[in-house]
């Protein structure tokens, strides 16, 4: 029997981390031929993930440019994929989430009338400009997609409200599948400074910030809040793996270098990152992925944004929206430093985003779509 050819297209660090376990699960099924095309919208940060999960893409569009614009990512992806889609001739194209690679990947497949499967479908902030451009990217991808893999019940509900009911599956988030393989007891870090930290004796705060809508005043506020906190809590250690965006690099260095308890380090490999998160006291971030990972590891999260498309962990009480104003961020962090009961209340592990079986559900749902099995996977239910 002819195999179903599934082409997974991704390009940034978070897409790669969340698609890696799925690529492996697809490749392990004898009814499926799994092919990978990376756009390399991120170059170094993508390669870190590919090497951690031993994925060698069949196609690499190598599109990244320094300080690239949204248009250039979209155009270069569309043009590059035209040839790949023609040559590979997949039965299905999978894209993930909400980046420019996601949207342009879905559009390129749609132009060739190849069905698109959208992994991590249905997240919504309901604000077109925040996160920007991600909210529009995921909506547009939803319009183009044929199969929708919603991580949670709420994500599926968002899609239903927009009229998407066909081929809508609730799978859990593949990032939880990835976490199951990366966090290890007794782990030795690749980044040498991380091995020297006394995790039991020191409050380690893991910080990341990179979002485009935070460029400018919000990022200045975040950096200034962290500087104040670092000076007020010298016993704490702030570890900030700084995203390679030139703007983020410059702002982080200008506001935080020279402080003895702020460690500015290059982007971490995913194994280092997940194991650091598992050992830290608190996470401060504007990242989407960290909002899903940290609750699963029982770590409180202060979200450095005005909104979130991931309300489940906020409702579970382990994630708090701290905003992007300096005073708000400082007050929220102070409370967690000064009030052990407040910290403890946010430190219980919850898994609203997945149970580690998202990839096998998605694989089964794909087989169902192509008529290879008689029923789809049962829905992910968190509790
Ligand atoms: C992108 C995604 C965002 C996602 C984020 C994850 C879009 C529009 N944005 O944002 O949704 O949350 O990735 O990190 O798709 N750079 C490097 N090397 C790298 C990666 C980036 O040098 O490995 C630098 C380049 O100068 C690049 C810049 O960072 O131009 C920005 O990268 P880009 O992908 O455009 O935007 P991100 O902010 O990373
Ligand atoms: N991550 C990583 N190294 C880092 C920072 C983040 O491996 O230095 C991982 C993190 O654990 C998560 C993903 O990258 O799995 C999130 O990526 P990012 O914050 O860049 O994007 P977002 O999730 O906001 O789209």
Q: What is the pLDDT of residue 94?
A: 99
Within a domain: 272? yes
Q: Are residues 157 and 78 in the same domain?
A: yes
Q: Is residue 33 annotated as part of the catalytic site, yes or no?
A: no
Task: Answer yes or no: are the C-beta atoms of 8 and 22 closer than 8 Å.
Answer: yes
Torsion-angle region of residue 258: left (phi > 0), alpha (psi -120 to 50) or beta?
left
Q: Are residues 155 and 201 in the same domain?
A: no
In 3D space, the residue among 44, 298, 31 whose CA is nearest the CA of residue 16 turns out to be 44
Q: Are residues 124 and 198 in the same domain?
A: no
Beta bridge partners of 10: 38
Q: What is the pLDDT of residue 382?
A: 85
Within a domain: 227? yes
Q: In sequence order, what E strands does the chain have? A: 4-10, 32-38, 59-60, 92-96, 116-119, 147-150, 168-170, 204-208, 237-241, 262-265, 282-285, 301-303, 319-321
Element (H, E) at 14: helix 13-27
Strand, helix or coil for residue 147: strand
pLDDT (tens place) for every residue of the chain, 383 residues total: 899 999 999 999 999 999 999 999 999 999 999 999 999 999 999 999 999 999 999 999 999 999 999 999 999 999 999 999 999 999 999 999 999 999 999 999 999 999 999 999 999 999 999 999 999 999 999 999 999 999 999 999 999 999 999 999 999 999 999 999 999 999 999 999 999 999 999 999 999 999 999 999 999 999 999 999 999 999 999 999 999 999 999 999 999 999 999 999 999 999 999 999 999 999 999 999 999 999 999 999 999 999 999 999 999 999 999 999 999 999 999 999 999 999 999 998 888 999 999 999 999 999 999 999 999 999 999 86
Check which CATH number belongs to the domain holding 229 and give it: 3.40.50.2000
Q: Is residue 281 annotated as part of the catalytic site, yes or no?
A: no
What is the domain count for the chain?
Answer: 2
Q: Are residues 202 and 335 in the same domain?
A: yes
Which ligand 2 atom is at minimum distance from the Cα of 286?
24
**According to DSSP H, which parts of 233-339 are helical?**
246-256, 270-279, 289-296, 311-315, 326-338
Which residue range forms the structural domain that includes residue 115?
4-173+354-369
Q: What are phi and psi of 121, to 5 degrees?
A: -95, 155
What is the whole-number distance in angstroms between the Cα of residue 16 and the centre of ligand 2? 10
Q: What are phi and psi of 258, to 5 degrees?
A: 95, -15
Residue 342 has a CB neighbour count (10 Å cut-off) of 16
Within a domain: 187? no
Q: What are phi and psi of 333, to 5 degrees?
A: -70, -40
Angle between helix 217-232 and helix 246-256 axes, rounded to 10 deg: 30
Within a domain: 178? no
Q: Which of 43, 273, 310 has the most ligand 2 atoms within 8 A of CB, as the residue to mutate?
A: 273
Q: Are residues 39 and 165 in the same domain?
A: yes
Nearest-CA residue for atom 13 of ligand 2: 14
Q: Are residues 226 and 97 in the same domain?
A: no
């Amino acid at each position: 029997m002819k195999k179903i050819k599934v082409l997974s297209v991704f390009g940034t660090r978070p897409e790669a981390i969340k698609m890696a376990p799925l690529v492996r699960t697809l490749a392990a099924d004898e009814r499926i031929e799994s092919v990978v095309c990376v756009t390399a919208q991120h170059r170094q940060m993508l390669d870190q993930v590919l090497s951690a999960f031993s994925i060698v893409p069949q196609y690499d569009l190598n599109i990244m440019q320094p300080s690239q614009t949204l248009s250039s990512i979209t155009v270069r992806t569309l043009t590059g994929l035209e040839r790949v889609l023609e040559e590979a001739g997949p039965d299905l194209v999978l894209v993930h989430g909400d980046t420019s690679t996601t949207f342009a990947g879905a559009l390129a497949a749609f132009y060739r009338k190849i069905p698109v499967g959208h992994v991590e479908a249905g997240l919504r902030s309901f604000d077109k400009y925040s996160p920007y451009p991600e909210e529009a990217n995921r909506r547009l991808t939803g319009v183009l997609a044929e199969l929708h893999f919603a991580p949670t019940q709420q994500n599926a509900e968002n899609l239903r409200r927009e009229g998407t009911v066909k081929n809508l599956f609730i799978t859990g988030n593949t990032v939880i599948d990835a976490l199951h393989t990366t966090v290890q007891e007794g782990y030795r870090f690749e980044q040498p400074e991380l091995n020297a930290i006394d995790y039991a004796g020191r409050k380690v705060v893991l910080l990341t910030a990179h979002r485009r809508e935070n460029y400018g005043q919000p990022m200045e506020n975040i950096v200034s809040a962290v500087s104040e906190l670092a000076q007020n809590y010298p016993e704490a250690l702030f570890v900030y793996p700084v995203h390679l965006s030139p703007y983020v690099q410059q702002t982080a260095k200008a506001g935080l270098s020279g402080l003895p308890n702020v460690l500015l380090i290059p982007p971490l490999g995913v194994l280092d990152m997940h194991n650091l998160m598992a050992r830290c006291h608190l996470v401060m971030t504007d990242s989407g992925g960290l909002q899903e990972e940290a609750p699963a590891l029982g770590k409180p999260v202060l979200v450095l944004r005005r909104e979130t498309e991931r309300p489940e962990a906020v409702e579970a009480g382990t994630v708090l929206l701290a905003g992007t104003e300096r005073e708000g961020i400082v007050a929220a962090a102070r409370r967690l430093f000064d009030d052990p009961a407040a910290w403890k209340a946010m430190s219980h592990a919850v898994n609203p985003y997945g149970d580690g079986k998202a990839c096998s559900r998605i694989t089964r749902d794909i087989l169902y779509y192509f008529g290879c099995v008689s029923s789809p996977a049962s829905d992910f239910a968190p509790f």
